[in-house]
């Protein structure tokens, strides 16, 4: 496949056009500070969307990630406040995320629940647990060992952005170069064919949900570093933003195709759009309309392109 036939190309072109338009429309867009700001804002949803990409490529969906962000964030904050080191606290948060993902995976593969239903349930359970643990209040007042994640820069680039890009690069390698990645595409493309090829479909499907849970915990870590507190009501609606980033990036909700590279572009596009509309002084109500329109148009264009590609004989 040539580069211009790749599905990500459309998203990239859209992103560049949007940047160009904003560059012309407002002098404040193309400043170093603003671009840094845009990149930083994209890290939260970007990180979350990595795991979502795996789940969706494997033919599933995970609605619980927003709640898992809150739950693992609360656990992280409690661990920090109890005096645990940053590394231990983050490890604990990742464990919480992975466990939530494992539960989702088991419900979907062994319980045979539709992913939508299973994760709708765990979404509510996760949110309730977070509220219960935090007693409904934000947790703050701990040594700022994680603060560096939000403030430090490498050669002018925020560390959180570097971290996100590294995660995307790693995920891209996993998807394209490893057995796990290949099986993820195989299961989403044709689960029965995958099973008949001897692939342990249940195990690998569960694996994608665990990756989504770990993504959520990483997202919670970035969020806590930025806000220096953890909220049990954090992450509400994040799952939909993550799904939007994945879909704008050209990953099909039917499973079997897509890439995290596209998801990165999708997350950036949403972030740039929000930022640009803010700079232009567009009300937040209209911003919602604009973002909704972008999602729909992106998928419409993508489907039209796919139809043309499929016009090869079958």
**Residues engaged in binding another protein (CB under 8 A):** 1, 177-180, 182-183, 185-186, 189-190, 192-200, 256-257, 310, 312-314
**Both structure tokens of 14:** 């859209």
> Token digits for 268?
């950036």
Q: Which is nearer to another protein, 10 or 256 (CB)?
A: 256
Nearest approach, Cβ of residue 242 and another protein (Å): 23
Closest approach of another protein to the CB of residue 307, in Å: 13
Task: Please say which residue, 145 or 200, places its beta carbon nearer to another protein.
Answer: 200
Q: Distance (Å, rounded) from C-alpha 285 to C-alpha 277? A: 11
- Least Å from the CB of residue 219 to another protein: 24
Q: CB nearer to another protein: give 179 or 289.
A: 179
Least distance (Å) between residue 214 CB and another protein: 16
Residue placing its CB nearer to another protein in the complex, 232 or 262? 262
Residue matched to tokens 């195990």: 203
125: its two tokens? 């359970």
Nearer to another protein by Cβ, of 21 and 179: the residue is: 179
Q: How far is the CB of 175 from another protein (least distance, A)?
A: 11
Contacts of 91 (CB under 8 A, 6+ apart): none
CB of 309 to another protein, least distance (A): 9
Contact call for residues 37 and 215 (beta carbons, < 8 A): no
d(CA 88, CA 149): 16
- Please calculate the CA angle 156-158-163 and round it to the nearest 5 degrees: 130
Residue 289's CB is within 10 A of a number of other CB atoms, namely: 11
Distance CA(174)–CA(211), nearest Å, equals 11
Closest CB to another protein among 88 and 110? Answer: 110
Residue pair 219/234 in contact by the 8 Å Cβ criterion: no
Three-class DSSP category at 157: strand
- Based on CB atoms, which residue is closest to another protein, 191 or 279? 191
Paired with 228 in beta bridges are none
Least Å from the CB of residue 179 to another protein: 5
């Amino acid at each position: 496949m040539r580069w211009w036939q790749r599905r990500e190309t459309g998203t990239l072109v859209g992103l560049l056009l949007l940047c160009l338009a904003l560059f012309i429309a407002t002098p404040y867009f193309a400043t170093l500070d603003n671009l840094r700001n845009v990149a930083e804002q994209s890290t939260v949803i970007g990180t979350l969307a990595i795991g979502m990409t795996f789940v969706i490529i494997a033919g599933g969906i995970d609605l619980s990630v927003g709640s898992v962000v809150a739950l693992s964030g609360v656990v992280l904050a409690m661990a920090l406040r109890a005096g645990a080191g940053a590394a231990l606290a983050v490890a604990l948060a990742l464990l919480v995320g992975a466990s939530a993902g494992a539960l989702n995976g088991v419900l979907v593969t062994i319980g045979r629940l539709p992913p939508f239903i299973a994760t709708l349930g765990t979404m509510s359970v996760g949110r309730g647990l977070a509220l219960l643990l935090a007693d409904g209040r934000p947790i703050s007042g701990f040594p700022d060992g994680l603060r560096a994640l939000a403030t430090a820069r490498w050669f002018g680039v925020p560390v959180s952005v570097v971290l996100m890009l590294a995660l995307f690069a790693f995920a891209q390698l996993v998807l394209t170069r490893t057995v796990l990645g290949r099986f993820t595409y195989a299961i989403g493309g044709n689960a029965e064919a995958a099973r008949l090829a001897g692939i342990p479909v249940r195990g690998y499907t569960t694996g994608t949900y665990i990756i989504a849970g770990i993504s959520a915990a990483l997202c919670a870590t970035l969020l806590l570093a930025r806000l220096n507190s953890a909220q049990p009501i954090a992450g509400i609606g994040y799952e939909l933003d993550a799904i939007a980033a994945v879909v704008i990036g050209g990953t099909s909700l039917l499973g079997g195709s897509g890439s995290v590279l596209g998801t990165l572009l999708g997350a950036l596009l949403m972030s740039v759009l929000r930022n640009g509309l803010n700079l232009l002084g567009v009300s937040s109500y209209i911003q919602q309309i604009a973002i909704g329109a972008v999602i729909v148009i992106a998928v419409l264009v993508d489907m039209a392109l796919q139809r043309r590609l499929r016009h090869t004989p079958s």
